[in-house]
Structure 1
Amino acid sequence: MKKCKFLFFVLFLSFQVLAQQGGMWLPHLLKGDRETEMKNLGLKLTAEQIYSLNQSSLKDAVPQFDGGCTAEVISNQGLILTNHHCGFDAIQNHSSVEHDYLRDGFWAYSLKEELPNPDMVVTFVVRIEDVTLNALAGTENITNETEKQKKIQQNLAELTKNLPKESWQENLIKPFYDGNQYIRFVTETFKDIRLVGAPPSAIGKFGSDTDNWVWPR
Structure 2
Amino acid sequence: MNKIIFFIALTLIGAKSFAQIQNPDETSGGYEVENSDSTESEEQTEGEGEEVDSSTIVKPFVKIELYVDSVTNLITYLGVVEQEESGSDSLYTRAKRWADNRFGKLSKPLYEIDKKNQKLIINGVIPAFVYTSKYAKRDIGTHQFKMTVWIKEGRYKYQISNLVHVGLKQNIGDVKRNYFEFYYTSPKAVKIYDKMLRDADQDIHKLMKEFEKYMQDPIIVDEDDW
Q: Determine if the TM-score, normalized by the shorter chain, exceeds 0.5.
A: no
Give the TM-score range, shorter chain: under 0.3
* TM-score for the superposition, normalised by structure 2: 0.21
Higher-Rg structure is 2
* TM-score for the superposition, normalised by structure 1: 0.22
RCO higher in 1 or 2 (8 Å CA, sep ≥ 6)? 1
Q: Which has the higher helix share?
A: 2
